[in-house]
Amino acid sequence: MNFLTLWLEKYFLPIAGKIGGQKHLVALRDAFIGTIPATMAGSVAVMINALIRDLPPQFFDGYDGNSIPIIREIIGINGFVWSGTLAIAGIIFVFSWGYNLAKAYGVNELSGGIVSTAATIAGVTFAFSGTISGLSLDDAAVASINEAGWAATATDITAGGWGWIPLGNLNANLFFTAMIIGFVATVIFAKLMLANITIKLPDSVPPAVSTAFASIIPATIALYVVSIFYFVFAKIVPGMTFLEWTQETIALPLLGLSQGFGAVILVTLFVQLFWFFGIHGPNVLAPILEGVFGVAQIENVNLFQQGGTELVIAEGYNWVRGSFDAYSWFGGSGGTIVLIIAIIMFSKRKDYRTVANLSVGPGIFNINEPIMFGLPIVLNPLLFFPFLLAPVVSVSIGYFATIAGLVAPVSQQVAWVTPPFLLSFLATGADWRAPIVTLVAMLASFAIWAPFVIAANKVEPEAAEQD
């Protein structure tokens, strides 16, 4: 460990310092940090609901928190908190991104945030449509539906409307698109501001008015450039928004992945890489995680109901969606609960320890936004290698333990907010060996994280702030 720490100090830290000082990366890092008030509040709401709504059904048959008056009200309040934070995390981020980019260029930060937000939202769909088939409707029902503005026949209903933004376009799924569009729009705005292509008002005009008017031309040009791009893109790729295209071009080529070790490791690596750049890896790779590994898990659940663990072992899948949660994503993607423990044990940095202490509670329930964006791990070159390597090692331990029959395959749907050890125990149909495998994976991850936490003691918190 000492040798690795010395090597990091000598060779890796200087490079990390240079990368960490690049102004665009600093702005991106600060953009994520700026979302902490919202993500922390949302994480607390999710954690409370996990305790009173999601976890009790795992232990008490028939438990329904929504049927208990006091619990029902608390769940409802937490729902409002979630709706205003994690549910629209993409909007919060895109404003923070534009604000910090404009700050990096030394121009109007508020206008930068507004331009970034407006440019990104401009390309999001504002309509919905869908068809339900196989119905049996009488003439009165068909007439009533058609009068309401939808299209109906005796067997089908086609519904549509304008002015609806799908929630999946406003949450963390928006991050990747926001990074691209927000960056382009804000940089155009900043460059035009620096070129002094602005409306100039007399000195007698109040500063707030003068500043706002100075931003009009740069903001308008930036928004028109982005809007022209959206228009051209719609002609080239009809029926698909740029947001949808970015998701599909990343996710769809990976849809062929299945049960092989290489496929599992590749998915793990991509999840970590996306997360390192602030993109919600499991969301981006949902077509694979849910469409491939999730289907395998459902099959295991059905087999378990028919013949228990023995039938799952004989005919089921070894690695399914819940396997990632059980053996690698303890504390969240990257196994970040282990990082929190390592920081509490070894870190001498006040900023690291403060964030770690605040992240313990959410981390126990596998909510890692506070540590991801608060430390941050996102775009932190010092933590890149352990963040990438630790999950690969822990996944390998869980994968080969399952393949070798040392632990039963995951065969139950368990809420992802279930704390480590308990999650793997329940997910494997109460196999007592599963928490032991989780512990081994956590210890291996700890051995990877610890040297980098110790090495971070040599880095002054202010150093990364310098351009």
Q: Which of these ranges, 11-15, 94-98, 273-277, 435-439, has the smallest mean pLDDT?
A: 11-15
d(CA 218, CA 197): 7
Task: State how far the Cα of 315 lies from the Cα of 307, in Å rounded to an integer.
Answer: 10
pLDDT of 95 reads 95
CB burial readout 9-37, b (16+ within 10 A) else e: eeebbeebbebbeeeebbbbbbbbbbbbe
Return the percentage of the chain with pLDDT > 90, whole number: 25
Residue 223 has pLDDT above 80, yes or no: yes
Quote the longest CA-to-CA distance of the chain.
83
Q: What is the pLDDT at residue 256?
A: 42
User: Which residue has better confidence, 181 or 51?
Assistant: 181
Average pLDDT over residues 453-467: 65
CA 87, 92, 94, 96: dihedral to nearest 10 degrees? -160
CB within 8 Å of 244: residues ≥ 6 apart: 125
Identify whether 37 is preceded by a cis peptide bond (ω within 30 of 0): no
In this predicted model, what pLDDT tens digit does every residue of 327-369 receive, in sequence order? Answer: 988 888 888 899 999 999 988 888 888 888 888 888 888 888 8
Residue-wise pLDDT tens digits, 251-282: 445 444 557 888 889 888 888 887 877 777 77
Displacement of CA 250 from its chain's centroid (Å):
15
- Report the alpha-carbon distance of residue 17 to residue 11 in Å, rounded: 11
The model's confidence at residue 228, banded by pLDDT at 50, 70 and 90, is very high
- H/E stretch holding 104 reads helix 89-105
Chain segment 396-411, per-residue pLDDT in tens: 999 999 998 899 898 8
Q: Is the pLDDT reported for residue 48 higher than 70?
A: yes
Q: What is the pLDDT of residue 251?
A: 42
Is pLDDT at 6 greater than 70 in this prediction? no
Q: How far is CA 70 from the centre of its chain?
A: 31
Q: How far apart are CA 119 and CA 227, in angstroms?
A: 7
Cα torsion 420, 421, 422, 425: sign: positive
Q: Per-residue confidence at 58, pLDDT binned at 50, 70, 90?
A: low
Report DSSP letters for 328-362, one per residue: T-TTSTTTHHHHHHHHHHH---HHHHHHHHHHHHH
Could you give the CA distance from residue 295 to residue 385 in angstroms, rounded to a whole number? Answer: 31
160 φ, ψ (degrees, to nearest 5): -160, 160
Tell me the C-alpha to C-alpha distance, in Å, between residue 175 and each of 269, 344, 352, 458.
19, 30, 25, 32
Using only C-alpha atoms, what is the Rg of the chain? 25
Half-sphere exposure of 323 (CA within 13 A, CB side): 36
HSE at residue 434, side-chain half, CA atoms within 13 A, is 25
The pLDDT tens digits of the residues spanning 278-305 come to: 777 776 676 577 667 876 776 777 677 6
pLDDT in tens, 299-315: 777 677 666 677 878 87
Q: How are beta strands 157-162 and 127-132 bridged, if at all?
A: antiparallel
Number of Cβ within 10 Å of residue 64's Cβ equals 12
Nearest to 383, CA basis, from 96, 2, 29, 24: 29
From CA 16, how far away is CA 385, in angstroms rounded?
11
Which residue, among 250, 293, 275, has the nearest Cα to 399 in the 3D structure? 293
Q: How confident is the model at residue 250 (pLDDT cuts 50, 70, 90)?
A: low
- The answer, yes or no, to whether residue 462 has pLDDT greater than 70, is no
From the centroid of its chain, how far is CA 48?
A: 20
- Sign for the CA dihedral angle at 108, 110, 113, 117 comes to negative
Is the pLDDT confidence value at 21 over 90? no
> Does the pLDDT at position 189 exceed 90?
yes
Residue 41 has pLDDT above 90, yes or no: no
Q: 178 and 116 in contact (C-beta within 8 Å)? A: yes
User: What number of other Cβ atoms are within 10 A of residue 205's Cβ?
Assistant: 12
Q: What six digits make up the tokens of 255?
A: 């849809």
**Taking the chain, what is the end-to-end CA distance rounded to the nearest angstrom?**
31
The angle, 0 to 180 degrees and rounded to 10, between the axes of the packed helices 433-456 and 384-403 is: 160
Q: Sign of dihedral through CA atoms 413, 415, 421, 422?
A: negative
**Amino acid letter at 346?**
F
What pLDDT is attached to residue 306? Answer: 62
Which one has a higher pLDDT value, 100 or 458? 100
Nearest-5° Cα angle at 128, 290 to 143:
120
34: left (phi over 0), alpha (psi -120 to 50) or beta: alpha
- Edge-first strand order for the sheet with 157-162 is 127-132, 157-162, 151-152
pLDDT of residue 184: 94
Domain boundaries, the chain: 2-34+255-465, 35-84, 95-126+167-248, 128-162
For the cut 70, the answer to whether the pLDDT of residue 105 exceeds it is: yes
Task: Identify the band that residue 17 occupies on the pLDDT scale cut at 50, 70 and 90.
Answer: low
Average pLDDT (186-204) is: 88
Residue predicted with more confidence, 249 or 243: 243
- Percent share of the chain, pLDDT over 70: 87
Task: With 0.85 as the threshold, say if the pTM is over it.
Answer: no
Q: How confident is the model at residue 466 (pLDDT cuts 50, 70, 90)?
A: very low
The answer to whether residue 5 scores a pLDDT higher than 60 is no
Angle at 68 between CA 62 and CA 73, to 5 degrees: 135
